[in-house]
Structure formats: structure tokens, C-alpha cells
């Protein structure tokens, strides 16, 4: 079990991870660490507007919390200022509700992104109008 994480800013996630290492990979917008309970499972947290947000103000924080429901340990904790703050276990219903909300947020995010890129295409002038001149 670890109560403190040490951040490593890396270009690629190394093969062997330190049990107290929080590996932040900017090129892949992903952070990876080993479950804080010590079970050895790798926790991958994609950094996107609908997944996790990483803040660095000299110390690293991840939000929202890390809920390892798919691991046998089912550990749940926050990493704030590189420290582990344990959260009480969530019951199955709350986990399912949270997953559903997460799926919905993702679907909305990608729908918004698709719409935004479509409308920006629509606003674009056809290429041939760029060259139209009056003689």
C-alpha cells in the first residue's frame, strides 16, 4: 500500500512501474500508476475532458477519484497533492449509476465535438470561391 505518489513525466510508460510512481505521459495524454492498495494492478487514467483531469502546481493531483471496481480489491481513492486519500467503498448501485452517467457524458461530448466540426465545415466557403474575381 502506498500513501504518497512520486510523479514521473515520461514520453513513454516504462515496462516496470514503481509501486509509488505516478507516470504522466503527455504525448499520449495518459497517466498510469499501480493501484495504491498494493495489489499490483495497473491503473490507466486517460486525460481528457470526460475522463480524468491532471493538475500540476508543483504537486500532481488527479480528479475525479480512482475507482478500481474491476479489480478484486475494489479500492477507491483520490490522488490529491500526490497523496492518497482513501474513500469508502461504493455499493454496486452507486457504481452502476456513476458508470451510466460517465457513458452519457462521453456520448454528449463526442456528439458536441461532431456537431462543432460539422458546422465549421458548413461555414467554410467552397474552395473555388477563393479564386473568383471580377474582371
Determine the interface stretch with Zn ion among 12-20, 29-37, 87-95, 99-107 (rule: CB under 5 A).
29-37
Residue 39 touching Zn ion (CB under 5 A):
yes
84: exposed, middle or buried (Cβ count in 10 Å: 0-12, 13-18, 19+): buried
Q: Measure the CA–CA gap between 121 and 131, rounded to whole angstroms.
A: 19
Residue 2 touching Zn ion (CB under 5 A):
no
> Whose grid coordinates read 492498495?
37
Q: How many residues sit in the footprint of Zn ion (CB under 5 A)?
A: 5
Convert residues 54-73 into a mask of x (bound to Zn ion by CB under 5 A) and - (unbound): -------------------x
| CA dihedral over 10, 50, 52, 40, signed as positive or negative | negative
Grid cell, residue 86, equals 482513501
Residue 35 touching Zn ion (CB under 5 A):
yes
Residue 43 touching Zn ion (CB under 5 A):
no
Interface residues toward Zn ion, by CB under 5 A: 35, 37, 39, 73, 75
Amino acid at each position: 500500500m502506498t500513501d504518497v505518489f512520486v510523479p514521473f513525466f515520461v514520453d513513454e510508460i516504462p515496462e516496470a512501474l514503481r509501486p509509488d510512481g505516478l507516470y504522466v505521459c503527455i504525448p499520449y495524454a495518459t497517466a498510469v500508476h499501480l493501484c495504491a492498495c498494493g495489489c499490483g494492478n495497473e491503473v490507466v487514467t486517460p486525460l481528457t475532458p470526460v475522463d480524468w483531469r491532471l493538475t500540476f502546481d508543483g504537486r500532481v493531483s488527479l480528479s475525479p477519484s480512482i475507482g478500481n471496481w474491476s479489480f478484486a480489491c475494489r479500492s477507491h481513492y483520490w490522488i490529491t497533492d500526490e497523496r492518497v486519500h482513501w474513500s469508502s467503498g461504493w455499493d454496486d448501485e452507486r457504481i452502476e449509476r456513476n458508470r451510466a452517467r460517465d457513458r452519457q457524458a462521453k456520448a454528449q461530448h463526442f456528439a458536441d465535438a461532431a456537431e462543432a466540426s460539422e458546422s465549421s465545415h458548413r461555414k467554410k466557403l467552397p474552395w473555388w470561391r477563393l479564386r473568383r474575381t471580377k474582371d
